[in-house]
Each structure stands twice: as C-alpha cells, then as structure tokens.
Amino acid sequence: MGKSRTKRFKRPQFSPTGDCQAEAAAANGTDPEEDDGPAAELLEKLQHPSAEVRECACAGLARLVQQRPALPGLARRDAVRRLGPLLLDPSLAVRETAAGALRNLSACGGFEVCDDMVTKDIMTPLVALLKEVLSCVLFHLILGAVLFGSTGLDSNEMSPQEKKDQNRNSIENIANEAVNVLWNICECSSRAVSIFNKEGCLEIVLKYLSRFSTNVDLAISVAYCLQTVTEDNPELLKSFSAPALHVLESAMLSPVSSMEYILLKTLVAGTIWNLKDIIPSKSQAEIINAILKILSEVLEMDAGETVIQMKETETQRIKTAAQTEDTLQNVNGDDLIEDDEMEEIPHRRKVRRKTFISDLLPPTDKELRETIALLTAQQTALEIIVNMCCSEDPTDDEWEELSSSDESDAFMENSLSECGGQLLSPLCLSHEVHAALTNYLIPKKIFEKTAFPNSIAVDVCSRNPSWKPLIRKMSTIQCRALVCLQSLVSLLDVDHLGGPAALQTLAQHLSQLLFSQPDFAKHVDFLEAISSALRALLQTVASKNIPQTIGCFLLEVATKDPSLVVAGEALDALFDVFADGKEAERASVQIKLLSALKEFQPVFKMKIRKEGRAKYSPDQLCVLDNVKMNLRRFVAYQETVEKRLTT
C-alpha cells in the first residue's frame, strides 16, 4: 500500500516584537520612497559621537525595519554595513539596540534580506560579538566602562553592586539578541550555516546553553538556533564531542517544570533527534524513550485551560499590585518608597536610596510569556513527531551501516562513560519508535489536540489585545496535530492506533470537524491538514477492509444538509479524499459513490438556481459554482474508475 508522504517541518521565522508590520506603511499612505526620509536620518545618527544618540537611532531602526515597505530604502542605504560595526560599539546600550535592530531586520526581512546580510559580511562582527560577550558571561568580567564603556546610565547614582548587576544584565541581553540574529540568518542562508560551522560557533552557543539554570531565555534562543543548524548538517555533527552532548542531555533532563523550561527541553529534544546520525545503536530505545517522554509530557497539558488560568492569574496580579500601590501612596504621600537601608556612594555623602513603586512590580507580561512558551512547546513537539515519522528517514538497514563503524562506536563509548552512562543512542524509525509512541499514548494525545481550541479560551483571548495572537497559535497547534495524525495513521499498525473501532471513531471525529465550526474551517491551513488526515485514514481503512465511515458520512452531509454552503464543503472534501489512489478507488465502489453523486447532481444544480441569489452572498455563489463544475468533472472521473474496476 502506498503511504501518504508528509513534509518535514522547518522552523518558522520568528518576530521578537510581534508580527512584522508589512502593511503599516501602506495603511498610512506611505510610499517606499518616502521611507528613505526617516531611514536616512536614523542611519546618519549611527555615526554620532554621543552613545545616547546612537542608541536612539538603533532603537528607531528596530521599529522601522518592521515596516516591509521601508526595507528597500534601508537596503539602498547599506543599513547592514552601517549597523554591523555597532555590534562592537564601546557602549553596552548601543550594542544591545544594534543587535535588536538586526534581529528585527533578519526576522521580518525573510530569506532575501538574510542572505543579503551574509553578503554584507554581518557574520564577522556578529561572531566577534558572541565570542567577546561569552568571555564576560562565563567569567563574570563585567567591568562596565572599563571593558565596554558606559551603559548610558548615570553611574554616580548606582552602587557598585547595582553597576555590576546592570552590566551583567546588559551583556546577557546582548548575547540573547545576538543569538537570535544568528538563528534567523542561519534559518534562511546556507552560507551562514557554513560560516557557523567554520567559525566554531557551536562551542560558543553550547557554553551559553550550559547556563540554562541562570538564564533560561538565553538558553531557549540557543536551543532554537541549535535545532536549526543541526538539521541536515553532517559537517557540524562531526564537531559534537562528549561534553557537547552532555550539555544537551543536562538541559533536556532538567527537573524544572516551568513553562519556559518545558519549551527549552522540547527544543533540545528536537536537536538531539537531529543528531541521530552520530549516535550508534547501543542505547537506541533509551534515547527514543527520553525524547518521546518529554514530548508526551508537553502534549499532556491542556493548553486551553492553561490560557484561562494564566489570564485569571494576570488579572488578579495586576489588581493586587494596583491596590498595593494605592496603599503605599496613601502611607507615603507620594509615589516613592524610602529604604531603611543606607548606602555609601563613593565621593558623595550618604543618601537614602529611593525606589519607585513600579520597580517593585513583576514584569507585566509574565503570564503571557509563560503561556506562549507552552503553546510554542506543543507546536514544536508535534513538528518533531512529524519529522520523526517522515518517510525521508533512512531505512533500518541504512541505520545499521550508519552506526557500524569502529570510529563511531569508539566515540560514543567514550561519551557514554564521560556522561555517566545515561547518554544518547542512535535512532531509527523502527519498532522502537512505534513502541515508544504507543507506550506514551502519543496517538491519543495527538487525537485530543485535533479538536478545535477551547471556546472559553478563545473568548478570553479575543477580549484582550495582547492575548489575541494566542488564538492563532492555538489554531496552529490543531493544524499541526492533524498533520501529525496523518503521519501516525500512515506509519503505525492498526492495533497501535487502537484497532478498527478507534479508526471509525477517528473518521467520524475528523468528518465532523469539517462542518462544526465554519469560522475555523475557512482557514486554508486547516482545510489542507484535515483533508490530508482524512485521505491517509481512508487509505488505511480501505487497505484493511474496514467499513467506510468516512465516505458515508461525507456523502450523507453533502446530500442531506439543508445548507448549500455545508453541502459544498462536504463535496469538496469528497473530491479530496477520493481523488486518487487504489484504496480510494476501491472505497468509492464499496459505498456506491458514483450512483449517489449522479443522483444528487441535478438536485444540487436546481437548489443553486432556486435558492442562490436569495440566501447566499456573491462570494458564496462563486464558490458554489466552482463546486458544481468540480462535481461534474468528478462524476466523469468516477465513471472512468468504475468502468475500469468492473471490466
């Protein structure tokens, strides 16, 4: 039986400050040529002797690059070559904002812009920055103005410890921005990946990752980058030593269970899967179980309930903080708190340190960030499972050849002993994967994720602008789950999927998804994903001679639903599911699809003629006309199929 092939998932481009404002300039009536005005002024200020002016110019460019119409003007004025040197500016603040501008440019500009950034040699100052910052992050050589110059703050108002903390935070922020630039560029440019390999960037980012317990945000950025550069990169895989693998293992097996750590462990699990070529077969089951255990735990969590709970937590926290601030203001009579603690400031008299109320409040987006981390982890987990099931993976025989060399075995024996005997083994898409998928109830959990997002969670998000983008994320998880389901149905035995009864239940569930919530069903990604899942299920059901629930249900909806729009969607689904393949042809004969459609065809045409203009919009009528034409063609195709099968 031919299997449905699924594409491997690539990491999506990520905009750190939200969706790129591609339409912003157009909406404001701005012409690309007019964008040269602010671009020219900001680029000119990058050369200003004042660090504060340079910082403001970088911040302005970070906003400007999110407007796609502005990108050609920035390219004409060589923005990359002018921003690049500021990655090594004497001021920490300038370095951070310059890296932020380049991060936004690489995220919003896409493949062409990222490739152009490599051409403009952005990798040279970027790699130099990562190496220089690494020495400070690892060895705490945070000497502020001595090493890097002023941060742009009035250091006389800060204690020595405050200066040290400020500089350390700035340096780690710079590292985070720089790693994101590196990730974005490597995602889009094979030349950047080649430079990553040659310049020893792996060692640098792994050292950042090793600090995951003190800076999880930086570790997550590194994990994204590693998942990108380790995919289809045999040259880089040779650079992974036993200590490097130990860093990955430590992060993946971290006992911390916060949502940020869940995302980190999921990304690292994806990286380890990419390393399967260098891991021989001795501990195969062990690593497969380690990876799928993490993915199972991620998918176990109820994203909808988490959204609801975290939004309630945010609302309560903000309310409590406001009440606290009111109370303190009433006590103090102003908006300042005076610490009892006296501080000695060099060359100045003792002063009572003043703290603004806002300094005591936690970050306002804490709950939102954690929720996004969970949703991203679930999407990533589903993508990893799809890639694990991808038919492009080597066969078992190829894995035997891949892991049989003495050099490979010797390398891994050494790494296992150095890493406490827990590490990692070669992976192959075989019985071990099938067994682990079943043991961790992965198919069941994926099935649950194919449902539409929790309606209460959707409503909560829709009423809060900062949470509204999460609706799209929840919908994306559903689409990824449908694609993942397609892979599992094509890969696993019927018994591993729960038997014939479970497949019939699944068929009813998928069929009902097509019509239960029309607003979601309008999304092209959803329709493509569910059609592929239905087609894969049809192939499996037909090959095992299981009764056709799928076709019968769609045919029932198409011929008996009073709404022409719903009937049209059901017909479209029938066309997709029964479009080609021997299993589809046999199934269509079994359920007598041709005779049913030939009988329904004149009824459908008559209903469009009688009800069309009165009940449906011009756009809906246009869609229905296309369905009517496709129905005629599909009937002709089915006549050919039936004639061939009966002769």
Give the whole-angstrom CA distance, residue 74 versus residue 41. Answer: 11
Q: Are 474 and 460 in contact (CB under 8 A)?
A: no
Looking at residues 67-81, what average pLDDT do you find? 91
> What is the per-residue pLDDT for 401?
37
Looking at residues 278-298, what average pLDDT do you find? 84
> What is the per-residue pLDDT for 623?
87
38-61 residue pLDDT tens: 889 999 999 999 999 999 999 999
314-339 residue pLDDT tens: 999 988 888 887 777 776 655 444 44
List beta partners, residue 591.
Answer: none
Least confident of 38-42, 119-123, 267-271: 38-42
Token output for 7 = 């594409």
> What is the per-residue pLDDT for 518?
55
Query: What is the 3-state secondary structure of 243-264?
Result: HHHHHHHHHHCCCCCCHHHHHH
Is the Cα torsion angle 554, 559, 562, 564 positive or negative in sign? positive
Q: Are 125 and 185 in contact (CB under 8 A)?
A: no
Token output for 246 = 């130990």
Give the whole-angstrom CA distance, residue 495 versus residue 497. Answer: 5
151-200 residue pLDDT tens: 443 445 556 655 556 667 888 899 999 999 999 999 999 999 999 999 99
Give the whole-angstrom CA distance, residue 172 versus residue 96. Answer: 9
> What is the per-residue pLDDT for 412?
34
pLDDT band at residue 524 using 50, 70 and 90 as cut-offs: confident
> What is the per-residue pLDDT for 337?
40
- Per DSSP, the residues of 128-178 read HHHHHHHHHHHH----TTTTT---SS-GGGS-HHHHHHHHHHHHHHHHHHH
Question: Which has the closest alpha carbon to 490: 536, 524, 438, 441?
Answer: 536
Terminal Cα distance for the chain, rounded: 22
Question: Which has the closest alpha carbon to 163: 146, 147, 144?
Answer: 144
pLDDT band at residue 80 using 50, 70 and 90 as cut-offs: very high
Rounded mean pLDDT of the chain?
Answer: 79
Q: Is the pTM of this model over 0.75?
A: yes
Q: Are 220 and 263 in contact (CB under 8 A)?
A: yes
pLDDT band at residue 18 using 50, 70 and 90 as cut-offs: very low
439-461 residue pLDDT tens: 888 889 999 999 999 999 999 99
Looking at residues 254-269, what average pLDDT do you find? 95
